């Protein structure tokens, strides 16, 4: 009788272990082939993405590279089942500076395009991306302080439209003409005065993004918190969560 109980316990424990292993394999498969969650740590994509936003990226949209896998193992080069981003897509990629750090920016230029900024206005292949001044963006920090920031609706020549911030004149508001190299993409943050992106191409800067470095396309917000308190203060979660942002689409 005792042996039967021991055998039953061992068998039950083994079943739990197998279930956990299966669950991990399924989760890894979903993360690698379908969707991966990311969070927003910086203000470079304001007003589209706020610090404390969490969103899903579709891995299949642009195909798969070594960066689709955890830790980017050097198993193969290039992309498999490659998909081409559209101008205006919000994409996550590994920055070429170290091929490890995840960046989220908007794809502005495709291979063969020319990109230029003139007095804060974007030009794609010599054609102006129209900018319309709209109501100021209301920026609220973790202490509840409110700052109003100049906001514009920018429309690419293709018709894709989104909001950008442009607070003041900076060197990156006036650039030379960038020619997007074959197999590369030109990415920019929507917060034009506070974004390290393809406009910066010095050593260690982002520069143009190789197609291999694309991780996926941002699809939808699934959670958002204003970070006004630490995560362990569960009693404050009801007031910390930005309910109005949950399930917002990130497709232009």
Q: Which residues are catalytic?
A: 44, 105
Cα–Cα distance for residue pair 68/59, rounded to 1 Å: 7
What tokens were used for 23?
Answer: 């669950």
Query: Could you tell me which of 238, 222, 239 has the C-alpha nearest to residue 40?
Result: 222
| Among 122, 31, 123, 86, CA closest to 217 | 86
Contacts of residue 74, defined as CB under 8 A and 6 or more positions apart, other chains included, come to 66
15, two tokens? 């079943």
Task: Give the phi and the psi of residue 50 in degrees, each rounded to 5.
Answer: -105, 150
Write the DSSP symbol of residue 241: B
Which of 111, 100, 91 has the alpha carbon at shortest distance from 67?
Answer: 100
Helix (H), strand (E) counts: the chain: 2, 14
Say if CB 38 and CB 102 are below 8 A apart: yes
């Amino acid at each position: 009788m005792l042996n039967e109980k021991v055998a039953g316990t061992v068998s039950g424990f083994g079943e739990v272990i197998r279930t956990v292993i299966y669950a991990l394999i399924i989760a890894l498969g979903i993360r690698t082939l379908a969707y991966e969650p990311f969070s927003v740590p910086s203000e470079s994509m304001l007003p589209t993405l706020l610090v404390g936003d969490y969103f899903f990226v579709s891995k299949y949209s642009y195909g798969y590279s070594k960066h689709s896998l955890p830790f980017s193992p050097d198993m193969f080069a290039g992309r498999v089942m490659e998909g081409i981003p559209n101008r205006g897509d919000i994409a996550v990629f590994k920055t070429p500076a170290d091929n490890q750090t995840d960046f989220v920016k908007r794809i502005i230029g495709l291979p063969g395009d020319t990109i230029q900024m003139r007095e804060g206005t974007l030009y794609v292949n010599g054609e102006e991306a129209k900018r319309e001044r709209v109501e100021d963006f209301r920026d609220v920090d973790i202490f509840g302080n409110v700052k109003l920031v100049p906001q514009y609706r920018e429309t690419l020549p293709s018709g894709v439209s989104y909001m950008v911030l442009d607070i003041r004149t900076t060197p990156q508001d006036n650039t030379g003409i960038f020619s997007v190299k074959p197999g590369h993409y030109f990415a920019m943050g929507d917060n034009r005065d506070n974004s390290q992106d393809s406009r910066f191409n010095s050593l260690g800067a982002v520069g143009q993004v190789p197609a291999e470095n694309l991780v996926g396309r941002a699809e939808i917000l699934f959670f958002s918190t204003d970070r006004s308190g630490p995560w362990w203060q569960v009693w404050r979660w009801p007031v910390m969560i930005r309910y109005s942002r949950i399930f917002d689409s990130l497709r232009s």
